[in-house]
Amino acid sequence: MLLEEPLETLRKSLGTARIVAFTGAGISAESGIPTFRGPNGLWKSYSPEKLATLEAFSRDPRLVWEWYDWRRQIIHQAQPNSGHRALAEIERRAAGRFTLVTQNVDGLHDRAGSRSVVKLHGDIWRVRCTGCQAEEPNEQVPLAPLPPLCRCGALLRPAVVWFGEALPEGAWERAHEAAARAEVFLVIGTSAMVYPAAGLVQIACHSGARVAIVNPDPTPADEFADWILRGPAGEILARLL
């Protein structure tokens, strides 16, 4: 079958290389978590671009929190899939030369056993105060009351990065440095359209990494690819191992 040969050469290239895996919502699709841009990505016909913004939150914090609460309930019921588990296993085998950078906020990489996850877009299981800025874990499902309030009385917000907001500084620095040093850069389940995160593919490619894409659909990052593995991440990463 056509897929075997690229899988085999990619597998060999992972042997001693410095590896970065860069994941997006697609890796969690097989766990039943809707992607943003897929056919099941709609919630009450609002588009995520209209909800995941500071403007939307300032206008209607309850509406935005209802959406996050809905997503938290889906994620809470979901389990990591074979794609998340394969990346945790690659981290064990390639200890010291593997970095996982994710755009996902769902925490499934941690639950699959990945130890060191660079979270570029924050964490849906943490909240941050819009007043005193205190941040803390919050795993209450469902959340009540909505919107939740901080002890200081101000509104809490999800500790995630909204469209138009800067990435957490430390996370971006770690991701940038890992991409620039990578020898093999795996791009898994991302539409590669949300910047600056998507720019990591170019950074890795221009710094000499070989790039592998794992995605059932074409993406703008395909032009940088040495390998394109078309199909669901869970299936392909399990076979890669």
Binding site for ligand NAD (CB under 6 A): 24-30, 33, 35-38, 103-106, 121, 189-191, 193-194, 214-217, 219, 232-233
Q: Which helix (H) or strand (E) holds 128?
A: strand 122-129
The strand pair at 184-188 and 19-23 is best described as parallel
Cα-Cα-Cα-Cα dihedral sign, residues 194, 197, 202, 205: negative
The yes-or-no answer on residue 84 being catalytic is no
- To 5 degrees, how large is the angle CA 89–CA 225–CA 180? 70
Least distance CB 102 / ligand NAD (angstroms): 8
Least distance CB 218 / ligand NAD (angstroms): 8
Of 24 and 147, nearer to ligand NAD (C-beta) is 24
Of 193 and 241, nearer to ligand NAD (C-beta) is 193
Query: How many angstroms separate the first and last alpha carbons of the chain?
Result: 17
* Structure-block tokens of residue 3: 């897929």
CA dist 174 and 61 (Å) reads 32
Of 19 and 160, nearer to ligand NAD (C-beta) is 160
Residue with token string 């659909």: 217
Catalytic residue among 76, 121, 176, 206: 121
* Structure-block tokens of residue 79: 């389990």
* Structure-block tokens of residue 134: 């205190």
Of 114 and 215, nearer to ligand NAD (C-beta) is 215
Question: Would you call 130 helix, strand, or coil by DSSP?
Answer: coil
Least distance CB 153 / ligand NAD (angstroms): 29
Least distance CB 93 / ligand NAD (angstroms): 21
* Structure-block tokens of residue 166: 């800067």
Give the catalytic positions in this structure.
121
